[in-house]
Amino acid sequence: MTELATRWLGLDLRSPLVVGASPLTDDLDALKACVDAGAGAVVMHSLFEEQLVAEQMAAHKFIDSQINRDAEARSYFPESEIFEVGSHSYLRRLELLRSKLDVPVIASLNGVTPGGWTHHARELEDAGAEAIELNLYDLATDPSDTAATLEKRQLEVVQAVVAQVSVPVSVKLSPFYSALPAFVTGVEAAGARGLVLFNRFYQPDMDLDELTLSRDVVLSSNAELPLRLHAVASLFRRTGLEMAVSGGVHSGDDAVKAILAGATVVQVVSALLADGPEALGRITEEASRRLDRMGYNTLAEARGALSLDNAPNAHTWERLNYARLLQGWR
């Protein structure tokens, strides 16, 4: 069987299969089962800066509403442990996972301001995070906010966080950059160690019967994988950043494709939510057997074998293939 040990962000992993950011963070037994099934690391769900701000504002509003009830109103403000706001529960969860899991635990941070990002990043490092995944989920809704200003703001955030922590930082991107390689160059210059490609946007749908917006979670399918493969294959050897594929990995063959494109690790979420932790064991075994049949002894031998630079028909990754696909669609 092919040896699956690898290194991601300077961390030694027993396997390239990583539990991605998801609600599984709150299920310790499920995470333990994933580790037993071969997970190389665990990424916690994101700590959202704007959610913390909203909680803090709600707390202030509640307290302010009590101030003028009578002269002694200030004496019956709620105790902090009763009305908890901030990142405390997330940090406690991080400390628990670090103590109970024998694989690296990576914290995930989704923020909106450089100050907020750096403050919470330091908290995550102090709580024991072995790396931090920055989730650059930034939707432009202001017509005056150009692609250049948005990207500049995001790169400033990456640079600020990297400057404040000593643990490695990876950056999770959306697929919606008009010039992804150029932006990745900026991410690398800002000091990040890795890329996670790509973020999946959980956007609201419309309920036409109720005339409301619905927020149902739609799990991924492997139909989403080619977008990730194309990006990783195009960036391999063109950036010094290590890359993780996130989204669309449901089988061992999906994981192997990501490695052959140039990924160092593969994050799995939807398959675990749909089929339970045993799915990770199945994917791990399938990937190892496939790589073994292909003649690879280690992941390093397989990594990037079908990237843009190494694929025998590399033009298939490029625009020319679009016309051929249209001509041969039948």
Rounded mean pLDDT, 309-319: 74
Give the pLDDT of residue 82.
Answer: 36
Please say whether the beta carbons of 97 and 135 come within 8 A. Answer: no
Biggest CA–CA distance in the chain, Å, is: 81
Q: Among residues 266, 295, 292, which one has the least CA distance to residue 279?
A: 266
Average pLDDT, the chain: 85
pLDDT per residue as tens digits for the range 186-220: 999 999 999 999 998 777 889 899 999 887 778 99
Please say whether the beta carbons of 11 and 249 come within 8 A. Answer: no
Give the pLDDT of residue 119.
Answer: 85
Rounded mean pLDDT, 43-62: 55
Please say whether the beta carbons of 104 and 168 come within 8 A. Answer: no
Give the pLDDT of residue 72.
Answer: 45
CATH superfamily entry for domain 6-327? Aldolase class I (3.20.20.70)
- The rounded distance, in Å, linking the Cα atoms of 50 and 203 is 17
Tell me how far CA of residue 11 lies from CA of 62, 130, 240, 313, in angstroms: 44, 8, 16, 34
Give the pLDDT of residue 215.
Answer: 78
Give the pLDDT of residue 13.
Answer: 98
Give the pLDDT of residue 295.
Answer: 97
- pLDDT at residue 243 tops 80: yes
pLDDT band (50, 70, 90) for residue 65: very low
Give the pLDDT of residue 124.
Answer: 95
pLDDT band (50, 70, 90) for residue 78: very low
List the beta bridge partners of residue 3: 298
Give the pLDDT of residue 55.
Answer: 39
Range scoring the smallest mean pLDDT among 14-23, 215-224, 236-245: 215-224
- pLDDT at residue 316 tops 80: no
Domain ranges of the chain: 6-327
pLDDT over 70, % of the chain:
81
Range scoring the smallest mean pLDDT among 27-31, 218-222, 303-307: 218-222
pLDDT over 90, % of the chain:
65
Q: Which of 203 and 96 is assigned the larger pLDDT?
A: 96
pLDDT per residue as tens digits for the range 108-149: 998 666 677 788 899 999 999 999 999 987 777 788 889 899
Say what the pTM is.
Answer: 0.85
Please say whether the beta carbons of 252 and 289 come within 8 A. Answer: yes
